[in-house]
Every structure is written in C-alpha cells, then in structure tokens.
Structure 1
C-alpha cells in the first residue's frame, strides 16, 4: 500500500463509526446536542447501515411514546397497559 492509500485508510477510519459508537451517539443525541463532527459521522454511518437506522427509528419511537405518556395525568394512564394481543403484535413487528 502506498503512502496516499495509507493516509486515505487512516482518514476513513477516523470518519467512519462502528455500530456500537453509532448507537451510543443516537442515544446521546436524544438527551443532548451532538457536536458537528458527531452529527456528520452519524449521518454517514446511518446512510450505509440499515441496522442502525432501524435502531434510531425504534429509539425515537420509544422516546416519543414515553414523552406522550408523561403528559397524561396518572388516572388517565390506566388505559396504557397493553393487551396480550397488542404485545404479540409489537413483538412480531420488531422481529420483521
């Protein structure tokens, strides 16, 4: 490998994230603003990784659901329990 190729490989290694790091940034991004570099790295990773895109969608869904449940007064929360059929449906969707 020549010098230019070595520099290119090292540069790509610094830019590209592992799935572990990407999921960490996805979670971190729900609680705090990511830096410009982190956002860029995450966007690049998500562009090529369907598994992390799926994780991001699921994570956002869970966060939004929790936020909505927090807005409902405690007495009205009683209807939020899932039936067994609803649980099976969610499990099937997650396995797809």
Structure 2
C-alpha cells in the first residue's frame, strides 16, 4: 500500500497531524496527507473542529489566568460536557 493510501485509512495519524498543525507547523507532505484523509473522514473533520474550539478556549483561559486566578466551576464543566456529548451524538 503506498503512503498516500495509508493516511486515507489512518485516523490516529490524522488526529496527530491536526494537533501538530494547531501547535506549530506541519510539512507540505503532512498537509497533503491530512487533506486527503479529511476529504473522506467526517469523524476526523469533527475532531478538528472540536479541537480548534477546545484549544481556543484553553488559550483564552490561560491568558485570563495571567490576570486572575481561574478555576472552572462544576456547573460550567457539566454544561461543557453536555454540549460536547450533544455534538458527538449528531455523528
């Protein structure tokens, strides 16, 4: 099986590349492999969207925590978990 076909069926590598892309740079080859995988995998597309939201929220929390001491309260955690579960159940 050639290398491009391997990524087509490899969600583990795709999720790794999604995370790598968000924290730094990925190579042109990795971009191509990820694009090929995402073209046919709705689960990894959903993962990418959720990961972007989560990473954005975490960055916002860390930026805010530089000015304040932040802790997520239980109601917020429950609401966040509920929203994630609802989105995941759509797929």
Short-chain TM bin: 0.7 to 0.9
| Runs of at least 4 residues off by over 2 Å | 91-96
Alignment: residue pair count: 83
* Match 1:39 to one of 23, 26, 31: 31
| Larger gyration radius, structure 1 or structure 2 | 1
Rate the CA distance shift 1:35–1:87 in 2: closer, same or farther, 3 A: closer
Q: Following TM superposition, by how much is the alpha carbon of 1:88 offset from its aligned partner in structure 2, in angstroms?
A: 5.7
Cα distance in 2 between the residues matched to 1:27 and 1:89: 23
Matches within 5 A, 1:43-54: 43-54=35-46
- Contiguous gaps of at least 5 residues in structure 2: none
TM-score by length of 2: 0.75
